[in-house]
Amino acid sequence: DADADSDTDADSDADTDTAGCLDGDGAALVADGHATGTVCAGGEARHAVTLPGGDCRVTLDLAAATADLRVELDGAPATTVADGEGVAVAVPAGSSLRAVVAGAGAYDVTAAASCSTTAASCPGEDVWEQNDDDDEGVFLPIGADLDGVVCASTDWDVFAFETQPGCIVDVSVQTTYAPDRNVDLYLDVLNDYGTWDTWINALTEDDDERITTVARRSSYHARVLGTAGAGTPFVQGSYGLRVDLDCHAWTCPADDPYDGGRGNDTVSQSITFATGEVADAIVCGSDHDVWYLPANACAPTVTLTWDPADGELGADLFVGASNPLSNDLIASSSPSPGTLVIGSNTNLLGLYFDVRAVSGSAVPYQATFSCP
């Protein structure tokens, strides 16, 4: 039964081109070359990109009237582009890149690559350039280590990635701190108006900087900026960059995705939320969930709701970043069945909310953060 065979093979990587179209693995796409063909309606034409080795910046361009190009880095989707659009991708040594054409009809995918097998140094900069602003962000693979360098205190290196709202975003930069060769880490988010806003920065003068937060959108940029101390000329900032995502479901004892194996039990592990954001989370036994709301001249409030059959929750509200949090206690709650509202009547610039289980070994809850 030919129809039955085609149905069972729909998810196969083998070619099904009996009608002259491709649904599966196609020929390898060589750097500085083309991959052309016709994708079967509803199918995928998958082309692995062959690179010469080392760190490579690859630009993929698609010409296709009725198909889109999905970029896969290390097996995970990075972004999707349409006809006439191009995308720049960072492929560190050891990572893989695949161009996947989905839709229907004829297509032509072009790959242009710039690669290097030597460590980046100034003034030559690194192979990822140009990526100096948010319009030039280069897509990077999730979970891979990428090395770069900034060569001026005004230099930005911008790397793009995509995720699902609700996942934990963990961005880290490793460098060797010195007054003349420091780097700072920022996380930018695409807003409703199609422009980029600085969401969080990690301005610490040390060897490692890290931003851990919850994804509200699907498109983000990790931005590395060279800095130097007052009166100290900037030399260069070599760094390692890594982005990890955690999207696992919330159950005990594994905890919720905000914990992600790292814990959000203390100020240093706190998860940053914006006004109007909602979190679905869980506390497991003696676990604490610490959230940070960077309020801006308003009286912030958090509302917790949960099923009283699971137990009871309590919460404390703190200002400041002291450990233990009780050093800065400004409000405390009393548990009530299924609902808890805690806030401040005064305008403050930043608050920590510590959520805990008063009773129950596993209490799922929803937290809504507001700043009227």
Residues 49, 81 within the same domain: yes
* Better-scored residue on pLDDT, 42 or 12: 42
Residues 228, 284 within the same domain: no
- Does any domain span residue 13? yes
Select the highest-mean-pLDDT range: 106-115, 202-211, 260-269: 106-115
pLDDT digit string, tens, across residues 116-156: 999 888 877 899 999 988 889 999 999 999 999 988 777 88
CATH number at residue 57: 2.60.120.510
- Does any domain span residue 50? yes
Last residue of a domain, one of 55, 90, 115: 115
Residues 11, 97 within the same domain: yes
Residues 225, 125 within the same domain: yes
Select the highest-mean-pLDDT range: 4-18, 73-87, 242-256: 73-87
Stretch among 212-221, 252-261, 278-287 having the lowest mean pLDDT: 252-261
pTM of the predicted protein model: 0.72
Residues 221, 242 within the same domain: yes
pLDDT digit string, tens, across residues 87-102: 999 999 999 999 999 9
Last residue of a domain, one of 212, 246, 280: 246
- Does any domain span residue 251? no
Select the highest-mean-pLDDT range: 27-31, 165-169, 250-254: 27-31
Give the chain's domain count: 3
Residues 128, 238 within the same domain: yes
Residues 228, 189 within the same domain: yes
pLDDT attached to residue 328: 46
Q: What is the 3-state secondary structure (H, E, C) of the chain?
A: CHHHHHHHCCCCCCCCCCCCCECEECCCEECCEEEEEEEEEEEEEEEEEECCCCEEEEEEEEECCCEEEEEEECCEEEEEECCCCEEEEEECCCCCEEEEEEEEEEEEEEEEEEEECCCCECCCECCCCCCCCHHHCEECCCCCCEEEEECCCCCEEEEEEECCCCCEEEEEEEECCCCCCEEEEEEEEECCCCCEEEEEEECCCCCEEEEEEECCCCEEEEEEEEECCCCCCCCCEEEEEEEEEECCCCECCCECCCCCCCCCCCHHHCEECCCCCEEEEEEECCCEEEEEECCCCECCEEEEEECHHHCEEEEEEEECCCCCHHHHEEEECCCCCCEEEEECCCCECCEEEEEEEEECCEEEEEEEEECC
Q: Domain of 94? A: 2-115
